[in-house]
Amino acid sequence: MNQPSNDTFLRALLRQPTDYTPVWLMRQAGRYLPEYCETRRRAGSFLQLCKSPALACEVTLQPLARYRLDAAILFSDILTVPDAMGLGLYFSEGEGPRFERPLREEWAIRDLEVPDPDGPLRYVMDAVAEIRRALADAVPLIGFAGSPFTLACYMVEGESGSEFRHIKTMIYERPDLVHRILSVNAEAVTRYLNAQIESGAQAVMLFDSWGGCLSDAAYREFSLAYIQRIMAGLIREKDGQRIPSIVFTKGGGLWLEDIAACGCDALGLDWTMDIGAARRRVGDRVALQGNLDPSVLLASPEAIVRETKAVLDSYGPSDTGHVFNLGHGISRLTPAEHVTVLVDTVHDYSRHLRGK
Amino acid sequence: MNQPSNDTFLRALLRQPTDYTPVWLMRQAGRYLPEYCETRRRAGSFLQLCKSPALACEVTLQPLARYRLDAAILFSDILTVPDAMGLGLYFSEGEGPRFERPLREEWAIRDLEVPDPDGPLRYVMDAVAEIRRALADAVPLIGFAGSPFTLACYMVEGESGSEFRHIKTMIYERPDLVHRILSVNAEAVTRYLNAQIESGAQAVMLFDSWGGCLSDAAYREFSLAYIQRIMAGLIREKDGQRIPSIVFTKGGGLWLEDIAACGCDALGLDWTMDIGAARRRVGDRVALQGNLDPSVLLASPEAIVRETKAVLDSYGPSDTGHVFNLGHGISRLTPAEHVTVLVDTVHDYSRHLRGK
């Protein structure tokens, strides 16, 4: 496999010099794009879209056709893994993801097994390979997974909006059961990400969407410890190329130094944290990815330019170590043309800051 | 007016020595109490309960009859203020608060006026006075209000669950309009809290429930600056007694030092922050209130004892400066008898730690 012709994203993650700051957007293949909505309609449902390698490839490439993005990210969902564990994932309109069989009983937790990435998750690997072929080494492809704790939240709650009461009660009441789920999840995610790497993913990202709902002690014990376990088990090099890893804990600003020490190459930041302050806290140990408030994209082009420049200014002068992104997934209400303003501003202004 | 016979809460806020750590719970008069549900049923609705001084007094006292709590808090709602501004507050079952006339138009924002605490908010002052009489100086009474930004979120969005898109778009697009709303809110809240103090509130708390949704720069400009303005305008002494103030920004862990410098006597902490680490960060400048994860109360009595002691141990040896509380409002699913375990553990274990 070849290094992509635009490897700015990979170089920035590895803290090698680049001419400008690379940019991609969480959920960049999403409902704000009319062409995405059209493909999703053809697929029949969100889950069928995820499970069709051809359609997943199609939507992965859509934002790259519109914008000068520096990376593609596999179109999929973090819940493919618990779905492959047999929990019965489904999506009811306007309700978010649900599981038919949430994990509440001790016997079900004991019976939980690591799914084979080449078995029920084969479709994900097929999508990765198909996207790599379609990308033709133009930009790198990011693989991803949910963190063990975030997956456990969905698996135990079975639905959104429950304020985490089942998983939290279990944490305080039966921590042994939570640790059992997290151990299985950590192994499952490690194998899943490694299979994505073997299939062609050139960087991987771990989404810890719900770790920020935990107390300090519980975050360390039930989320970060298992992220560390995954980091220790990841394939780090493929065909002579380093495979960088990014860890993103939403609401994780309090734990930056600890996350930076988990073995990742880069830290994803949500928008609540000043990126310059984050850089001062973690130094040059890891690259930083982020962190524009996604709401900025709902405002005027002038506001988008101003706020995008503010993030770049706050990161400060450097010719590497920053991957521009939003602090959370792009809103479905974003006008598609606003993304052009963002991407062009990141490229042009970061070149300007570097005197290129 | 007299100092209450149990003034542990006030003394701890002012960092004077106490024999044990005082405790009260956010939303302690709430739906987890069957007697509260009964009174609410009699009132007809949540809003009618807030607006009847006799019934508000009744529910304020209910948790004190059950538990050895060290403070009472006025039963009311943060949205009484925008309701008094004429926005038409209503509650639809299971949907959270809504406004009939959300603030979106420039003319409506320009027309916004500070409500007279002795006019449309008179019922709140009557409730404060009635509760003070009923308490007969047993424990102190806390008055409260929402922060200017938190009120603005509700006023502009008009409903919950909108991910703050209207207020955030306004922040980036028309910051002048947001500042206009916040200026009115800050003056309204200052007058409202001062009127509560004049009516008998012996401490006041400002709830910044949504400041944590902002970026670092926006938090400072749109939330903290207006909290500071309120702190500067509060009545600080009444009848020779200092009136302590508590500021609570949910998700505010990143800004602790700045909030501690806003002029408040105490900082409310949510459960994501280790209270010992918070104490090391703010030193002895302010007292700390918090911060048990409310989910702990859903677990077993053994877990409640263990986790309650962990918070007290983390705060560390000191004979003052800590008011025990949850890190957020008590869940309606809490078994009422679990609160006894919590309150008794706080009292007994903190006496033990002080060798009393």
What is the distance between the alpha carbons of residues A252 and A256, in angstroms, rounded to a whole number? 7
* Per-residue model confidence (pLDDT) at position B287: 98
State the CATH class of domain A8-353. Answer: alpha beta
B94: pLDDT strictly greater than 80? no
Residue of B15, B40, B98, B279 marked catalytic? B40
- Kindly tell me the burial class for residue B37, based on how many C-beta atoms sit within 10 Å of its own C-beta (0-12, 13-18, 19 or more): middle
* Per-residue model confidence (pLDDT) at position B66: 98
Q: What percent of chain B has pLDDT over 90?
A: 95
* Per-residue model confidence (pLDDT) at position B262: 97
B26: pLDDT strictly greater than 70? yes
* CATH fold of B8-354: TIM Barrel (3.20.20)
CB contact under 8 A, B172 and A274: no
Encode pLDDT of B215-244 as tens digits: 999 999 999 999 999 999 999 999 999 999
pTM for the model: 0.96
What is the distance between the alpha carbons of residues A282 and A247, in angstroms, rounded to a whole number? 14
Reply yes or no on whether B123 is catalytic: no
Q: Are strands A245-249 and A203-208 parallel, antiparallel or unpaired?
A: parallel
A1: pLDDT strictly greater than 60? no
CB contact under 8 A, B168 and A293: yes
Among B31, B164, B174, B216, the residue to mutate for chain A (most A Cβ within 10 A): B216
Place B1 in a pLDDT band, splitting at 50, 70 and 90.
Answer: low
Reply yes or no on whether B31 is catalytic: yes
B269: pLDDT strictly greater than 80? yes
CB contact under 8 A, A215 and B251: no
A162: pLDDT strictly greater than 90? no
* Per-residue model confidence (pLDDT) at position B356: 83
Mean pLDDT of B171-182: 98
Encode pLDDT of B298-341 as tens digits: 999 999 999 999 999 999 989 999 999 999 999 999 999 999 99
Encode pLDDT of A299-324 as tens digits: 999 999 999 999 999 999 899 999 99
Reply yes or no on whether B77 is catalytic: yes
- Interface residues on B facing A, Cβ-Cβ cutoff 8 A: 163-165, 168-169, 171-173, 212-219, 251, 253-254, 271-274, 277, 293, 295-296, 298-300, 303, 307, 310, 327, 331, 333
Encode pLDDT of B100-109 as tens digits: 999 999 999 9
What is the distance between the alpha carbons of residues B347 and B328, in angstroms, rounded to a whole number? 20
Name the maximum alpha-carbon separation found in chain B: 62
Reply yes or no on whether A219 is catalytic: no
B163: pLDDT strictly greater than 90? no
Find out whether A178 and A104 touch, Cβ atoms under 8 Å.
Answer: no
Interaxial angle between packed helices B165-173 and B148-157, expressed in degrees from 0 to 180 and rounded to the nearest 10: 110
Q: Which residues of A touch B305 (CB under 8 A)?
A: none
CB contact under 8 A, B173 and A271: no
CB contact under 8 A, A273 and B216: yes
Going by C-alpha positions, the residue among A327, A296, A336, A286 that lies closest to residue A37 is: A336
Interaxial angle between packed helices B175-199 and B225-233, expressed in degrees from 0 to 180 and rounded to the nearest 10: 30
Contacts 24+ apart (CB under 8 A), A47-55: A47/A77, A47/A89, A47/A90, A47/A91, A49/A75, A50/A75, A50/A76, A50/A77, A50/A80, A50/A123, A51/A123, A52/A123, A53/A123, A53/A126, A53/A127, A53/A129, A53/A130, A54/A130
Place A94 in a pLDDT band, splitting at 50, 70 and 90.
Answer: confident
Instruction: Give a three-class secondary structure readout of B271-314.
Output: CCCCHHHHHHHHCCCCEEEEEECHHHHHCCHHHHHHHHHHHHHH
Q: Which residues of B touch A169 (CB under 8 A)?
A: 295, 298-299
Domain ranges of chain B: 8-354
A23 or B283, higher pLDDT: A23
Q: Which residues of B touch A303 (CB under 8 A)?
A: 172-173
Encode pLDDT of A250-260 as tens digits: 999 999 999 99
Residue of A11, A27, A132, A279 marked catalytic? A27
What is the distance between the alpha carbons of residues A7 and A244, in angstroms, rounded to a whole number? 12
Among A95, A215, A311, the residue to mutate for chain B (most B Cβ within 10 A): A215
Place A65 in a pLDDT band, splitting at 50, 70 and 90.
Answer: very high
B28: pLDDT strictly greater than 70? yes
Reply yes or no on whether B15 is catalytic: no
Place B93 in a pLDDT band, splitting at 50, 70 and 90.
Answer: confident
Across chain A, mean pLDDT equals: 96
CB contact under 8 A, A295 and B165: yes
Place B161 in a pLDDT band, splitting at 50, 70 and 90.
Answer: confident
CB contact under 8 A, A215 and B164: no
Across chain B, mean pLDDT equals: 96
Mean pLDDT of B144-150: 98
What is the distance between the alpha carbons of residues B144 and B192, in angstroms, rounded to a whole number? 9
Measured in angstroms, the CA of B166 and the nearest CA of chain A are apart by: 9
CB contact under 8 A, B327 and A217: no
